Every structure is written in structure tokens, then in C-alpha cells.
Structure 1
Amino acid sequence: MRRIRYEANGGPEVLFLEDAPEPEPAPGELLIRTEAIGVTLPVVRKVREVAAPIPLGGEVAGIVVGMGDGVEGFALGDRVTGLCFSHGYADVAILYEAMASHIPDDASAVDAVALVRSGLIARGVLEAGVAGPGDSVLVTAAASAVGSLAVQYARARGAARVVAAVSSSQKADFVRDLGADEVVLYSDESWGDPVDVVLDGVGGDLLAPAVRALAPAGRLVAFSSGGGVIDAYELLVRGASAIGFQMAAIARTKPKLYASWRDELWAEYRAGTLRPRVHACVPLAEAARAHEIIESRSNLGKVVLVP
């Protein structure tokens, strides 16, 4: 099989296409022939920051071509999507059965990787922030794969006001089309009237203005791999709170909740409430170019690798 090898830290130039043995599925695992592979910011950051070579995992979608012992919910030929923890940038990948879900007949593999993982995070951060009908919600990285779905989800859940925070005014029309009432730039001195909930997928220096954007008793949900420091005094004077969210923790500790959110995602997709947006489909051999798109923050929606 073909896969992308990560050699050392330093950026997209260290990604190489290589031939490798096809993996064997262990008990409880599915072997899938990949049709689409989602590129995520955490994986891009690992390539940039981690010195030791690591498998490039992430969201994959394709056809089941092998199964380990004990698999009960899937059959050969099924179309599935899920999160791969080993080598996902490859023609063939391994999925844990618990992390896999069926792709409906009316959805493509590209739609699946653009929707499921990013949509689960969007659903989860809204839940963590207790964002309900009538609330105002601000989403950072609103033009990203997760952000674009979070804007749509907030609107669908009855938010009275949805604010999209983006890095460039060139993204304004895109996020307004998703349902944003207002658009602010990270560089703006003020992000407008305070909001009840901030969903932050950027981190770093953006945490300070994100906290300042909170209304009294507001909630900041931080789900970025970008780190950063929150000023406790800024929370104190607002009576606000900061919450960390990690999707993997939900998948491990609350599998029934994880499955119900996943089913809800596909229902919203069929109803047309959620529309996954794909910025580009890039050949697997050009994975470095896909990483460059993410690093430049120029993407409007999901970047997908296609074997």
C-alpha cells in the first residue's frame, strides 16, 4: 500500500510518499480501503512541533475490506468512517470498531470525513458551553471544518445571535452564508457586544480577547490544541467560566452519548440543517500541499486527501 511517511519536525517538506506493508486487523478492528482522509490542525501541528516521527492518524472514510475477530456490527463491503489512531494517511487504514460508523447511501466518503469528526466536536462544544435557545454564541476559527459546522449547529439549536470570528475579511461572505449574524476579525479592537458562549478552536494569544468577549456569567469552551493562558481575573470580574473539551474523552468514557450525537449528525445532514463544506480535495501524494493550506489558515471548510 501507499502511505505518507513523516520524517522529522520542520513542516510540510518532511512528508514523503512510501510503499509499506498492508496492516492486519487485530480483534475488534476494521481494515478499510480509504476513499477520503481528513486533514486536521492537530496533526499538522504535530508535524511542525514533534521531533520524533509519528503515524499520521485522523479521520478516514472508505470500504471495509477486512475484519479482526469479534467484530459484530460491520460486514465486508460496508462503507464506514471514523478516527484512525495509526497510519491514516494511506490507501488502507485500521479503525477500531467502536470508533467506526456507517456512511449512509446518500452521502459520499468526502462528506463523511467533512461531517462526522468535526460535527461531533461542534456538537460537543455547544453541549459543554450549555448553549441553548436564545443564547448568543461566538465561534473562533469559524471558517474551519469544525467552526463552519459549529456556526450552523448554533443556529439550528436556536441561538439568538451567532458571531463568527475569522482571521481575514475574505472569509466574511463564507461564514455569513453558514448563518452567522455578525463577523469580526481577530485583529478588531472589540468583538462587538458580549456573548453568552465563546467556542474557541484557536487558543494561544486569542484566548485573551475571547474571554473579554464574554457577557456576565458567560462560558468559554476551549477545544484547541494551540494551548494558551487564561487570565483568571478576567473570568472573576465577569463571573464567567472556562471549560476544556476533548472529543476523545467522550468517545472513551461515554460511548452511548457519542453514538447518539453521531446519529443526530446524520439526521441533521439528511434534513439539510448541516452542510459540510470542503475547501479542497488533494491527492494523497500531495499531502504536503494539504498541510500548507491548513497552516496558512486559508481554508474555507475541510481539506481532504483522496487516495
Structure 2
Amino acid sequence: MHRVVVLALEGVYPFELSIPTRIFASARSAAGEPLYEVLTCSIDGGPVRTSADFSITVDHGAELVGTADTLIIPPFGRSGPADETDWYPPPLAVVFSRLRPETRIVSICTASYALAAAGLLDGRPATTHWQEADHLQRLHPEIKVDPDVLFVDDGDVLTSAGVAAGIDLCMHIIRRDHGSEVANGVARRCVIPPWREGGQAQFIERPIPGPSAATTSATRDWALRHLHRPIPLTELAAHARMSVRTFSRRFRDEVGMPPGQWLTQQRVELARRLLETTDLPVDRIAAESGFGTAASLRQHLVATIGVPPSAYRHTFRTAEPRRTGAGPRAFGTRPAEARETV
């Protein structure tokens, strides 16, 4: 069983601390067996004071880190660090030295500062809470900080934005490990969306539109029903009854990315879902998802997740019965570095 170890550090945020246990413990195989073992530890095995008005008691010390298949660090301490030692005290360096080379490392919210201080993000794409993204970038110019996304998957090191983005990242990991069917089962049990659209930009404080202000949500819903065909920006704007300029600006404000980039993301996610859950040939999936040709689908899938359709299907196929028709669109977030605009 895959072991997830959650490291509770002094000043840990209790909500984020609870996310991995709640999400990963809900992952079940088709036979109903748990797929993850989730254990929590502190540096010394003793109680840990949280950022709230209570402390928590854990059953394990840092020696547990050496047994982790995945190590998750929730946010801790103050939200804006005064200096590097706040995020990388000597005991934490000792803990990281226990990591096995194959261990997957995950940070939630501002715990990305700890990974950055340890040098684990050097030369990598990463994210953190949007309020701290500029500061993290200034403090660590060697990191490619993306302030707009909910999380970044860089293979063996993954980072997320604030609070609920930690849920998004845990759901993504389950989907990456076991496919959409298992992840969607977790979403149903936890009563959460399997995937959220857009990035952090939609949560940044902006003036509240007036009661008569139009939004792009109805047009996004319409576009999702027409992914099988080309949808030019002018048609999106016309559906929303806006000028192209107004629509593009409002779309970016609401979703956190340009319309073309969002459409490409939705097409990729639909293609992934069809590859995982149907026996449709790749040409048909390319047509259903709006890429037109198998070559175009292959190009976008390789740019997004690094593998062609055949390899992706082989990895994520399950023993469950397959549907032969187009299923509902998939849910997931692409690695930030692979985003592109059509």
C-alpha cells in the first residue's frame, strides 16, 4: 500500500493538516480496499501547536519520513516569513535528509517556502498562495513561480496554492496514481468537485460587478457542450453578447486564463477521460474532443502530460467495464508549464 506521511510542523494550519487524511483515506479500489496508508508525524514525535488555539498529538516522530512514498507538508508558521530560517530550521533539514530518493514531495500553500529553502524547487516550476507568490519569486529567483494556477505537478515535486487548492492537488495525485474512476469516487464520498476550473486569478480580490453585469459562465457551459467542433473567440463573445475585447477581459478575470487556453485545457481533459473510460479509437477521440486529427491530439497530449494517447490509455486503463460512447468531460489540472493558447 502506498504510504502517505504528513509532517506536522510548529504552527501547522489545522484545516490543511487534515486534508491528506480525509482525501487519501477515501480512495478505494474496485474491490473496496484502501489504496493509501496515511500517517502523521512531527519532528520529535511530540505534540504540535497549531496556528489555532489548540495543539495536536501525533503518534509518530520524524523517523517515519524515511518510510514515505509521498511526503506532504501542510502550511505552518506565519504567512509572511521574515527570513529563511523561519521556513527551514535545522531540525527540518535533518528530516529532509531522511527522504528516500524516490519519495514524492508535496507542499500545500506556503509550505512551498520550506521546499524552496531546502533547494528542492531550484529550476522547477512551482506555486504558492497568490498573496505570497511575488515574495517567493523575489526570495528565490531560481524558481519558476506561477501565481495563477491552483497547483503545479512537476513529477516528483508538487506544490499547491492556498487552502482548498490542497484538496485539488490531493485529488490530482489520486487521479494520476489510479485514474479518473477512483478520483471521482473520492469526490463523491467527500462531496467535493473532482476538479475545479481556472486558477488562483479568480480568487484575487477585485471590484464586485454590479447586479446587471454579465458573466461568462453560461458561455463556458455552452462551449463544453460543443467541444467537438472549432469555437472561435468571436463566436464565444457573440454567445455572451459582448464585444471580443470585453469578453476576453471578463473571461480572464473570472477563470484566470484566456478563452483559447481554457478551451484547449477542456479539450485535453475530455480526451483524457475518453482514453481512460472508453474503447473509442484515437481518431474518434480526437474528433469528439475537438482536436480534429489524431496527430493534433497527440501533439497536445504530449505537450500537456508528456505521453502520447496510446501510452496514456495503457497507464490509466482499469479492469472495470468500458463504455463505448462519449462520457462526461474529465476533471483535472494540467502542469502549469505545459499551458498553451490556441
Structure 2 length normalisation: TM-score? 0.26
Structure with larger Rg: 2
Task: Please state which structure has a larger fraction of its residues in strand.
Answer: 1
Task: Please state which structure has a larger fraction of its residues in helix.
Answer: 2
Structure 1 length normalisation: TM-score? 0.28
Instruction: State the structure with bigger RCO (CA 8 A, min sep 6), 1 or 2.
Output: 1
